[in-house]
Amino acid sequence: MQLVNVEEVKNWLNDAGEFIKTSLNNTLEIKEKSNRTDLVTNIDEETQQLLINKIQEVYPNDKILGEETGYNTIDSMSGRVWIIDPIDGTMNFVMEQENFCIMLGIFEDGIGKLGFIYDVMAGELYWGGKELGVFRNDEKLQQPESSKLNEGLLGFNAYMFGENIHGSKEVANASMGIRVSGCAGLEMIALLKGNHIGYISNLAPWDYAPGMALIEVFGFHATTLTGGALSFDEREYFVAAQPETHKEIVEMFKKTGNF
C-alpha cells in the first residue's frame, strides 16, 4: 500500500481552506437536509469534491467516506479509507462565517492512522497520528494532564443536554460545566489542548473519525455512551474523554440511560 504523504495532504487542506475563504464573498446556495437546522451549502459539496479529486488522483485504489451525497455510505472499513467532513459546523459557517473546520481522517482496516482538523478562519491545522504525535501547525502538542469528571469542562451536544437524553444532565452536572460550540472539530481541538476533558454528542462517522485519530494519540477513549465500539456506519451517540473520566461517564450513562 502506497504511503500517505502527510505534507501533501496538509497542502490539500490549505487549498480547500483558501477555496472556502474565497467563497465567503459569493452568494451561498443553502439547502436543508433532514430539517431547517441541518444545512448543506454548495461550498460543502464543492469542497468535498475538491478533496476527493486530489485523493483519487494520487491514491486511486483507496476508499472514501464523506458527508455529502454519493459518498456517505461505505461497504466496510477494510483497507485504507479517507473520511471527509468538508465543512464541520455548517450552521456556524452560514450564520457566523467562523467556528467551522475541515476534517479529514485516514483509517486502515478500521484503525485511525492520521487525522487532520483545520480551523479555517483561525488558520490553525491540528494534525498527526500515533507514529508522529499531534501538532498545531508546526508546534508539537503535549499530552493534556488527566482530570476527574468533577475537575473539568465537557463539550456537549445542546439537544442532548436540553432534552436530557439518556440522563445527560446528570453527567453534565457532575462536571465543572458544559460548553457548546456546534462544531465537532472545535470540540476535538478543545480535548487536544486540554481545555476540555470530555465531549458528548450525537455524531456521524465524518464528525468523529478525524478527531478520533488524533485524540487517541493522547490516550483518550472514544466510544458509544455505554462504552461500545463505534460503527462508522451511521449517526450514533458518542463520548470521548480521558480514560478515568471516560469510565466515570460511561458508568453514569449505564445507570441513567434508557438503552
Position 155 in a domain:
yes
Between residues 157 and 31, the one the model is more confident about: 157
Which is nearest to 244 in space by CA: 213, 199, 189, 198? 198
Percent of the chain scoring above 90 in pLDDT: 81
Please check whether residue 13 lies inside any domain of the structure: yes
CB 175 within 8 A of CB 152: yes
For residues 196 and 240, state if they share a domain: yes
- Are 52 and 66 in contact, with CB atoms under 8 Å apart? yes
- pLDDT tens per residue across span 96-154: 999 999 999 999 999 999 999 999 999 999 999 999 999 999 999 999 998 899 999 99
> Does position 89 have pLDDT exceeding 90, yes or no?
yes
Asked whether residue 180 is domain-assigned, the answer is: yes
The mean per-residue pLDDT over the stretch 3-18 comes to: 97
Residue 109 lies in a domain: yes
Q: What is the pLDDT of residues 218-231, one digit of tens each?
A: 999 999 999 999 99
Question: Nearest to residue 235, comparing CAs of 173, 153, 165, 180?
Answer: 165
Domain boundary among 140, 157, 188: 140
181 shares its domain with 112: no
Q: Is the pLDDT of residue 184 over 60?
A: yes
Tell me what the pLDDT averaged over the chain comes to.
93
**76 and 158 both lie in a single domain:** no
Query: Same structural domain for residues 113 and 161?
Result: no
Does residue 128 sit in the same domain as residue 11?
A: yes
Q: How far is CA 32 from CA 228, 234, 257, in A?
A: 31, 19, 31
Quote the pTM value: 0.94
Phi (first) and psi of residue 73, to 5 degrees: -135, 160
Q: Strand ranges (DSSP E) for the chain?
A: 30-32, 39-41, 63-66, 80-88, 101-108, 111-119, 124-129, 133-136, 139-140, 153-156, 177-179, 198-203, 221-223, 236-241
1, part of any domain: no
* Angstrom distances, CA of residue 199 to CA of 12, 160, 175, 181: 28, 12, 11, 11
Query: Residues 136, 161: one domain?
Result: no
pLDDT of residue 72 exceeding 90, the answer is no
Q: Are residues 121 and 196 in the same domain?
A: no
**Domain at 97, CATH number:** 3.30.540.10
Q: Please give the residue range of the domain that contains residue 189.
A: 149-256
